[in-house]
Structure 1
C-alpha cells in the first residue's frame, strides 16, 4: 500500500502552526485536534519543523512550566524527515523505525500534502495481513 492510498482514505488535513507561536497555544491545538504532532511551516509554507508530544515533554523537563511561554521554534524538532506519496508503507515504517519517528509529513515538490502516523502504518499493515489470511483460507478451502 502506498502513502497516497492511505492519505486518500484518511484525508489530507494537517494541522500546522508558525514557528513563532507559543508552545501553550500549540499544546492546545494538539489537545483540541486529538493529535500527536503539528507540522511547523514558515511564511513561505515550507516545512521548518515538527512539534510532537515528546518535544513538549522534553521542554517541560528542561525548562519547567515556563516552556509553555516559549516559542514553538525553541522546542520543535528541526531535523524533519518527510516521505512522498509514491512510497510504499513498508518503506515509511522503516524510516519511522530507524528515526524513532511517530509522524512523517508527506511532501510533494517540497510542499506539505499530508501526514502519516505510526498508527496509519500499523493499520495498513494489519489490513494487508488480514487480506493475505483471507486469500490463504480461500485457497485452502477452494
Structure 2
C-alpha cells in the first residue's frame, strides 16, 4: 500500500505508514459496487429487526429443545445460564448430523452435551457484512445477537438473504 502522504510503499493491510506514521486504515475500506453491497456495509443488525431469541436453561434436555423448536417454529435454540448469558446454541442441523440415527435415546440427554459452546455472536450495531462474514467463515446458519453477553435476538442467513432481495428489488 502506497502512503498518500509520503509515497512510501508499505505492506498490504498496514494500518500506519512505516515511514511517516500516517494513518492508512481508511484506505483499506472496500468500495461498494451496488445497492446491495452498500446496504451490507452500512446497515446494522437492527435493519433485520431480529426476532426475540428462543432460549432454554443449560439444564434442558434434547427433548425439551426439540419440543420448543417445533412449538416456536425455529431452527435454533440458545442455551443460557442463570445470569442469562449465552453459553451455547443447538440447531436443527445438530440434530441431523450429530444425533438422529447416531445416538440412541438422545431425547433424554442434556442439550449442553451437544450444543456448540460459546457460539459466535454479533452485536446489534454490527454491520450486516460482519454477520454475513461470520456466517460464511464459520459455516453457520444462525447467529445470536448479544448485548453485554445477553441474547437480545437471533438472526439467520435467511434474514440476510431476504434483506438483500429487498435491496435488489428496490428501484
Q: For the superposition of Structure 1 and Structure 2, which TM-score range results when normalised by the shorter chain?
A: 0.7 to 0.9
Instruction: Give the 5 Å matches for 1:117-128.
Output: 117-128=156-167
Larger Rg: 2
Q: Which structure features the higher share of helix residues? A: 1
In structure 2, the residue matched to 1:4 is 46
Cα offsets for 1:101-120 (capped at 9, x unmatched): 11100111222111111110
TM-score by length of 1: 0.84
Unmatched 5+ stretches in structure 2: 1-42
Alignment partners' CA distance in 2, 1:36 and 1:59: 15
Give the superposition deviation at 1:60: 2.3
Matched, 1:96 2:138: no
In structure 2, the residue matched to 1:76 is 115
Q: CA RMSD in A?
A: 1.3
Q: Which has the higher contact order (CA 8 A, sep 6+)?
A: 1
Instruction: Give the 5 Å matches for 1:1-142.
Output: 1-7=43-49, 12-57=51-96, 58-64=98-104, 66-131=105-170, 134=171
Give the superposition deviation at 1:5: 2.1
Give the superposition deviation at 1:90: 1.9
SS at match of 1:62: coil
Alignment partners' CA distance in 2, 1:55 and 1:105: 16
SS at match of 1:29: helix
Alignment partners' CA distance in 2, 1:100 and 1:31: 23
Cα offsets for 1:47-66 (capped at 9, x unmatched): 000010111221224313x1
SS at match of 2:63: helix
SS at match of 2:103: helix
TM-score by length of 2: 0.71
Give the superposition deviation at 1:91: 1.8
Give the superposition deviation at 1:130: 1.6
Unmatched 5+ stretches in structure 1: 135-142
The verdict on how the C-alpha distance between 1:77 and 1:61 changes in structure 2, with shifts beyond 3 A counting, is farther
